[in-house]
Amino acid sequence: MSNINEDYIEDYIREVIKESSVFLKKLEEYAHKNHIPIIHPEVAQFLKVLIKIKKPKEILEIGTAIGYSAIVMAEAMDSYGKITTIERREDMINLAQSNFTECNLIERINVIHGDANEVLPKLQGSFDLIFLDAAKSKYMDFLPYFINNLTSGGVIISDNVLYKGMIANDDLVVRRQKTIVRRMREYLDYICNNEIFESSIIPIGDGVALTYKRED
Ligand SMILES: C[S@@+](CC[C@H](N)C(=O)[O-])C[C@H]1O[C@@H](n2cnc3c(N)ncnc32)[C@H](O)[C@@H]1O
């Protein structure tokens, strides 16, 4: 039970969406066995469809881990599309790079090693789509940099925004997660209530926010 959706809804969605490729299945098994969190299948499918519609040329991802979501996104993009992904753990970067090489995506995915707090202020370039899947308490800190780096009409997809239901219900909040909950609520309140963005919160996976940056 994810506290976001009834199990039968989640099970049905997972049953009905297309099966992952053999390579992605191998990564799913590796992640499961090694307790590495990766995007849920219904979130992967959501990303794929959104990328097909939006056709981004440049994607920025925060939180690479083993490269699973970067591969999902790169495969959904047109063949010239590029991804920049930021990860602070060297062991994860090594695994991700070897996965990108194995599926011939190494030329299209640039991994930046470092803490996003330090990388983002120096990051050059503009992105049509930003996928945020890193430390949940930091989403609000990253946002000012996204405002600069995101093109007008660009989108931000933020994962885990309902965090096991805790964001929506105080009764579910675990004491040591109180700061994360408070900061995530601030983040959601900001992206939902300001002049720059238009946001929708979608109860799939662990909760996804889809944010559109209004055109100038
Ligand atoms: C949920 S995992 C990412 C999973 C990946 N997006 C996928 O679905 O395949 C989160 C990753 O973000 C990294 N991370 C967390 N906070 C970070 C930060 N401030 N800067 C860079 N990486 C960070 C963690 O080391 C971890 O590997």
- 77 pLDDT band (50/70/90 cuts)? very high
**Ligand 1 pocket test, candidate residues 64, 112, 164, 208, most atoms within 8 A of CB:** 64
Work out how many domains the chain is built from and give that number: 1
pLDDT of residue 1: 60
Does 1 fall in a domain? no
Amino acid, res. 186: E
Q: Is the pLDDT of residue 216 over 90?
A: no
Residue 160 lies in a domain: yes
Q: What is the mean pLDDT of the chain?
A: 96
Q: How far is the CA of 62 from the centre of ligand 1 (A)?
A: 6
Q: How far apart (Å, rounded) are the C-alpha atoms in residues 173 and 26?
A: 34
Residue 124 domain flag: yes
The pLDDT, as a whole number, for residue 84 is 98
Q: Which atom of ligand 1 is nearest to the CA of 70?
A: 9
pTM of the model: 0.97
Residue 154 has pLDDT above 70, yes or no: yes
Residue 101's pLDDT band (cuts 50, 70, 90) = very high
Q: Is residue 193 part of a domain?
A: yes
- Tell me whether residue 2 is in a domain: no
Whether residue 2 has pLDDT greater than 80: no
Pocket test for ligand 1, best of 88, 130, 158, 184 (most atoms within 8 A of CB): 88
pLDDT, mean of residues 25-49? 97
Write out the residue range of the structural domain in which residue 87 sits. 7-213
pLDDT for residue 74 is more than 70: yes
Residue 50 lies in a domain: yes
173 found inside a domain = yes
Asked if residue 176 belongs to a domain, the reply is yes
CATH for 93: 3.40.50.150
CB-based contact 41:208 (threshold 8 Å): no
Q: How far is the CA of 166 from the centre of ligand 1 (A)?
A: 20
Q: Is the beta carbon of 59 within 6 A of some atom in ligand 1?
A: no
Say whether pLDDT at 3 is over 90.
no
Q: What is the mean pLDDT of residues 173-195?
A: 95
- The pLDDT value given to residue 170: 93
